[in-house]
Structure 1
Amino acid sequence: MGRGAAFDGIVAGDCDMNGEQMSVEASRTSGAVTNDETGRRRLGDSRHWYLVPLLVYAVSRLVDALIITVASRRQVALTSTRSDYHVFDPTPAAPGYGGVVANWDGQWYWRIATRGYEVPASGSAEEGEALWAWAFPPVYPLLVRGVMTVTRLPFNWAASLVSVVAGAVAMMLMYRLVRRYGGPFLALVTVTLSCFFISAPLLQIAYSESLALAVLFAALNLLADRRYGWATSMVVLLAYTRLVTLPLAFVVLAHAVARWRAEGPFWRQDRRSAAVLCAMGVASVAGAALWMLTASLFIGLKAGTGRTVDQRELFQGWFRDVYDVFGAPGLLMLIAFVVLFGLNLVTRRGRIWGPELRAWSLAYLVYLFWFTPLLPAVFRYLLLVPTLVVILLGTPVKATRGTVGLLAVAVVALVIAQFWYAGNILVVFTEEARPGP
């Protein structure tokens, strides 16, 4: 399949579907993007559609709270900063749920929420730590700071509250987007597997994953609704939450091509929306450097961009790491996985995801493998690709005995994996240096 055919597959929507999917697809021409009216009609057949993802999410948070509490018994005392772990608030051994939820990056967010971003004097004792804090975008810690001020909760509990609420919003928006194209069962499967994903315990600890997922799916929903101005604002917000806006440029392109296939040169009749859509694409690219440049205004360009030097070099990340460890065969296998995943997205079954989510899934996965190192952190990065596990299970769109059974088996397997993840990645169980989540 050539590049042109592959891109056509990303934006096409002419898949064969039964039941609810067929009725929706019949209402639009091949490749059309669902507009506001169609989207509202899609969700209008169930007035309380949001209760489904909220119920699944609530159950998963209780399960993960139990997993984190059990895993916390393994944690060692953390009283001072180590080479691999920054300590802002010391914790004893076996600190319980409240101690673990502020582990790893949570300690940096705690520092920022409490002390803000500091501009240290050159050569001061805390210069290194103060500058490193600027590597963390501000939306999450400042939001937690606001909750701390209003509720008087300590950081760890305020951060857990923010993450849980943001995760709930993310699951509702995820369900909404998948449901409008693929129907309620596919949406249920996607949300369920996201809630029980191996790194889903992070959705309730002091990490920005929940908030980033919520902002991302807000942007994708608004883009699908053709509310381009609001979608662009979400891209800017995401740029100050997590440095993951670059793949959205491909999503904007896929959306534009899909709309062009459905309507022809829409920019002639609707110049304003076309201009705002272009602005969203520009914001997606610029967003990759927005926080770094903002930080550079206060601490200098070298310090503001220092943490991302490796990510700005080509062939860092999985491609290089796999080649270094496994040689050419390993690299070819990784490339084959990405290609097969992309091809799956352009099959008739894969097109059921809609152009926005399909384009994001492929672009973000390539971005992830290209720019991030092969470390345990990849498990949390994959939280932003909710289609991955669903596609590996065959993208079930109808509730049958087989698909429900498969979903149940997958959830059990993921919960078992969560016990391993919480006990070996999230919890600090050794005095030796090791990578975190």
Structure 2
Amino acid sequence: MAELTEPPEPQKPPTRPGLVRAWGRLPVAVRVLAIYVIARAVTTVLFLMTSAMSGFSSRFGVAPSLVTLVTGWDGQWYWFAALNGYPSVLPLTGAGQVAENPWAFMPIYAYLSNAFGVLLGGWPEGAILVSLAAGYGACLVLYRMLRLRGDDAMATWAVVFFAFGPLAGLFQVAYAETLFLLLLFLALWAVMLRRYAWLYLLIPLMGFTRPGVLAFSLFLALHGVVRWVTRRREALSTAQVVHIVATGLLAAVVGFAWQVIAAVVTGDSSAYLSTELAWRRNWIPGWDGAFLPFDGFVIGAQYWFAQWGLPAWLAVAALVAAVIGAAALLLFEPHVRRLGADIRLWAAAYLVYLLAVFFPQSSLFRLLVPLSPLWGAAAMPRSAWWRAGVVLACLVGQWWWIYNMYGLGNTIWSVP
């Protein structure tokens, strides 16, 4: 007869420390706010360190105030637009070309900051408040978006990486980026939830906050194709088809609307493009070309490789390799694939948009921030060492960016 034995005791799940349990019981909005406040405190310390290290060679001079730093660069243009509006006569350089002017900067952030500035005592205070509040909203919506594609830990760590990221200084400077990110994330979230009606509000707000809504039009076109191809797996109603087509067309119209407004106000049909190209001429003295899609990246790659003493053909080869590498990442990297089709389609559409319209220079770091939903892929590995390493890399990158762009800002490549 078989020997009778006591059945093994059931294994108890490992108990989590009290602080971890308490953290998990907090509302998501509170947890995201705690992460955000700590991240902004760290960034503030980095700005203060930058101020203390700023010297005579710095764009901002010796020991500039925190307000001086965070309202620098493009912040001055938003400030100017808020207080003076947009010129009906385009300023010209000594050579008779259109000079830099406020038409390159969309109005919503400038005027919204001015509205809060009236209440707080000045435009800088209003701009900082708008950037900080919109940044928190963007973090919260990013969590909600990524929670659709993974668990709480993944979404939370993605918010950590985003809030502490290399470009986290943007959360508290007078730039329109965080407001645009909030609107963009809301729009992506609406698409992921198939609540397309929200896009009729969000697309115009995005389009008049900063450039980039044309990328969203391309994204909606790609999204519509994927929804049609996969309609057997996910039902696609006639109403949804109408919404996708209509909002995609709306995004295209809004994407060109600012150019039309600039043309009507100034009487110059090329007012907006000429204004944008004024910045490109700063990088290539003597260049007097017109805007051609995808031309900027080719010219820019050749320009930078020439600065480094490398041949032009290598610049083109590097550009092609970068495009292939980005495509492979979005198509085949397993963590990125788990983010779902919509996030990957947005990333692809936005990268195509940048290739089509942008001249690559140091602002490219900032212009890559709308790809932040991809932080979800970096947050999927559960290794504590990996997560700590990513946060450390983010902090190092953040310090490098703030110090070079704001502490120095005195070389051709240090423009935020």
TM-score normalised over the length of structure 2: 0.79
Helix, strand or coil: the match of 1:94? coil
Aligned residue pairs, count: 373
Partner of 1:140: 109
The offset of 1:76, in angstroms, is 5.8
Partner of 1:39: none
What aligned pairs does 1:268-307 form with structure 2 within 5 A after superposition?
270-300=237-267, 301-307=269-275
The offset of 1:214, in angstroms, is 0.6
Partner of 1:62: 41
The offset of 1:413, in angstroms, is 2.1
| Amino acid aligned to 1:200 | A
Q: What is the CA–CA distance in structure 1 between the aligned matches of 2:56 and 2:373, rounded to whole Å? A: 38
Instruction: Could you list the structure 1 runs, at least 4 aligned residues long, displaced by more than 6 angstroms after superposition.
Output: 121-125, 127-131
The offset of 1:56, in angstroms, is 2.0
Partner of 1:376: 362
Partner of 1:335: 320
**Given the superposition, is the C-alpha separation of residues 294 and 435 from structure 1 closer, same or farther in structure 2, using an over 3 Å criterion?**
farther
| Aligned with residue 260 of structure 1, among 214, 225, 228 | 228
User: Does residue 1:219 correspond to 2:187, yes or no?
Assistant: yes
CA offsets 1:167-191 (integer angstroms, 9 cap, x no match): 0111111111111013223322322
**Given the superposition, is the C-alpha separation of residues 355 and 120 from structure 1 closer, same or farther in structure 2, using an over 3 Å criterion?**
same
What aligned pairs does 1:25-44 form with structure 2 within 5 A after superposition?
none
User: Does residue 1:320 correspond to 2:299, yes or no?
Assistant: yes
What aligned pairs does 1:99-110 form with structure 2 within 5 A after superposition?
99-110=68-79
CA offsets 1:175-234 (integer angstroms, 9 cap, x no match): 111110132233223222222222210111000111111111011111122221211321
**Given the superposition, is the C-alpha separation of residues 302 and 344 from structure 1 closer, same or farther in structure 2, using an over 3 Å criterion?**
closer
What aligned pairs does 1:230-269 form with structure 2 within 5 A after superposition?
230-264=198-232
| Aligned with residue 354 of structure 1, among 335, 340, 352 | 340
Greater CA drift, 236-245 or 112-121: 112-121
2:216–2:346 CA contact under 8 A, matched in 1: yes
**Given the superposition, is the C-alpha separation of residues 77 and 396 from structure 1 closer, same or farther in structure 2, using an over 3 Å criterion?**
closer
Q: What is the CA–CA distance in structure 1 between the aligned matches of 2:262 and 2:109, rounded to whole Å? A: 16
CA offsets 1:264-303 (integer angstroms, 9 cap, x no match): 4999x84333222111111222333221212222112232
Greater CA drift, 137-146 or 408-417: 408-417
| Aligned with residue 380 of structure 2, among 381, 385, 397 | 397
| Amino acid aligned to 1:225 | L
**Given the superposition, is the C-alpha separation of residues 314 and 251 from structure 1 closer, same or farther in structure 2, using an over 3 Å criterion?**
closer
Helix, strand or coil: the match of 2:106? coil
Q: What is the CA–CA distance in structure 1 between the aligned matches of 2:155 and 2:344, rounded to whole Å? A: 14
The offset of 1:398, in angstroms, is 5.0
2:113–2:123 CA contact under 8 A, matched in 1: yes
Partner of 1:420: 400
CA offsets 1:145-169 (integer angstroms, 9 cap, x no match): 11012233x2222211110100011
Helix, strand or coil: the match of 1:313? coil
User: Does residue 1:95 correspond to 2:75, yes or no?
Assistant: no
Structure ranking higher on relative contact order (CA contacts 8 Å, 6+ apart): 1
Give identity over the alignment, percent. Answer: 26
The offset of 1:119, in angstroms, is 2.9
**Given the superposition, is the C-alpha separation of residues 185 and 365 from structure 1 closer, same or farther in structure 2, using an over 3 Å criterion?**
farther
User: Does residue 1:165 correspond to 2:133, yes or no?
Assistant: yes
**Given the superposition, is the C-alpha separation of residues 189 and 338 from structure 1 closer, same or farther in structure 2, using an over 3 Å criterion?**
farther
CA offsets 1:413-434 (integer angstroms, 9 cap, x no match): 221222221111123554x777
| Aligned with residue 80 of structure 2, among 108, 111, 125 | 111
Greater CA drift, 318-327 or 185-194: 318-327
The offset of 1:360, in angstroms, is 1.0
Q: What is the CA–CA distance in structure 2 between the aligned matches of 1:122 and 1:58, rounded to whole Å? A: 42
RMSD across aligned positions (CA): 3.3
2:404–2:414 CA contact under 8 A, matched in 1: no
1:243–1:287 CA contact under 8 A, matched in 2: no
**Given the superposition, is the C-alpha separation of residues 341 and 123 from structure 1 closer, same or farther in structure 2, using an over 3 Å criterion?**
closer
User: Does residue 1:205 correspond to 2:181, yes or no?
Assistant: no
CA offsets 1:79-101 (integer angstroms, 9 cap, x no match): xxxxxx8xxxxx76322211111
2:81–2:102 CA contact under 8 A, matched in 1: yes
Q: Which runs of 5+ in 1 are unaligned?
A: 1-44, 79-84, 86-90
Q: Which runs of 5+ in 2 are unaligned?
A: 1-23, 281-289
Q: What is the CA–CA distance in structure 1 between the aligned matches of 2:256 and 2:365, rounded to whole Å? A: 24
Q: What is the CA–CA distance in structure 1 between the aligned matches of 2:398 and 2:83, rounded to whole Å? A: 30
Partner of 1:9: none
